[in-house]
Structure 1
Amino acid sequence: MQSKGIITNKTLNVRGLVLDLSEPVVMGILNVTSDSFYEGSRVATEKDWLKKAEKMLNDGASILDVGASSSRPGASDVPEEIEIERIRQSIGSLLKEFPNAVISVDTFRSKVANVAVQEGAALINDISGGSLDTNMFETVARLQVPYILMHMKGTPQNMGTLTNYNNLLRELISYFQEKIVRLTSLGAKDIIIDPGFGFAKNIEQNYHLLHHLEQFHRLDKPILVGVSRKSMIYKTLGNSVENSLNGSTVLHTIALTKGATLLRVHDVMEAKEAITLYKQMLQAG
């Protein structure tokens, strides 16, 4: 099964096991914080995150992406020691309850990444692409875990003001090429790229990236798309984050036709349905 531009026969080494990416997979968002932009993704107690994780896994999530510090625009910075403690507690209880779960940790801090992997995390998802912690690239290379390399300028606190580009696509591709070379030279394995929808991009720029998503296949890396319930949907439709599930599914489907490998989502079942229908279309020829 293949459509134009999609990378096939891709795998990730996760805790010594092979995760097949030859077909698109879903990453479920699990925010162990009370400061996520979408209330439905906040699970600040152990009971809540275990319940949420169980549903996501039953609905077909291949990866759980655990975040202990919000990266929404304007979010307050969480002290490193608090982020580490939240990560220790959440990963420990998740793997005790679901020992076969593949856990990614959403962090830009190398110390948090190191603790997370020690606790059993299998991937690191860095919104800053190594720009907010100069030790991150060396850390993920040493840990030999898959690394999600996202594009962002500035910080969550000021990125909304940093949306000026001479050529958006060219600048992002150059950004990824440079960082992939650096990571590879350090011995990092299994790099995934994320264009960073909503991070230092306005609504028009987000849709421009989605429209041209296939251009990123020249990097020969799996592509993660994170558009779930973001403002590019509800501001365009004139509704709210709570009413943006249908819009999220529409954009997920478009991303699949452009060759997205991973969908990072709040609503796993609906994303899995989009993948199933997309695969059926490909099979029908």
Structure 2
Amino acid sequence: MEEGGLNKRNSSNLGKKEDLFHVLHKVPYGDTPYVKAKHAQLVDKDPEAAIILFWKAINEGDKVDSALKDMAVVMKQLGRAEQAVEAIKSFRSLCSKQSQESLDNVLIDLYRKCGRVDEQIELLKRKLRLIYQGEAFNGKPTKTARSHGKKFKVSIKQESSRLLGNLGWAYMQKTNYMMAEVVYKKAQMIHPDTNKACNLGLCLIKQARYEDAQSILEDVLHGKIPGSDDIKARKRAEELLTELKSKLTQSEPVKILGLDDDFVNGLDQMLNSWGPIRSRRLPIFEEITPFRDQLAC
């Protein structure tokens, strides 16, 4: 075989190996600070070096959107969630408009990690406000999300229910179970699932409303709620029912917090305030009943 042909063949094999390397490790091509940061993060498993390189990428304007988000994730993994929050707040103005939604999602997770519940609640409300005003998903009915390397479609209804579920959980951390109950019920009206049903059951248990809680948890076990075939959900429902039965033998006083000031005039009034231009109101919010009716349920 001629030398030129041999070199060409070796070069082709080398190229294939490099392609396989990048696919397996999910590392982008190139020699930029961002590429080096991803290599340090995913191949070398050196998070500290990755953070330094992500900083360099941000300062040099190299894939700032991805660099900031990836750096925050690595910081969180190292237990530096507070630093990650400050980094996003300081540098998100350098990022594109399209990246702001994903940065908000990272921030919500960081707030939860840091125990900054009030900030988490305010950000969740703001994201719901954007959905209500028709400004989320760049005006589209669905968006493409990614989880564990897989892409999937998320609808406005699913996203609204997810955010309301997170909001409900945040209120539970503040032990405001009345407000958590209201939010979880709204979430279930839009896009029901067993996880939020179990959380709603827990809210009712905390308020000593055992019959209502039992009814919801039994719906999970009897397959009346989407996702009832999930083993973890069924196990949690069973555990909550066991807890409920133990509560029936106790007579401890139950402390019930009132509604947050933001919600004191009713959740429906709050939703109306989100949409100054009523024609832009999304159909999913038309499905939500007035707040006083909800409390009367």
TM surpasses 0.5:
no
**TM-score by structure 2 length?**
0.26
Select the structure with the greater relative contact order (CA < 8 A; seq sep ≥ 6). Answer: 1
**More strand per residue: 1 or 2?**
1
Larger relative helix fraction: 2
Rg (Cα) greater in structure: 2
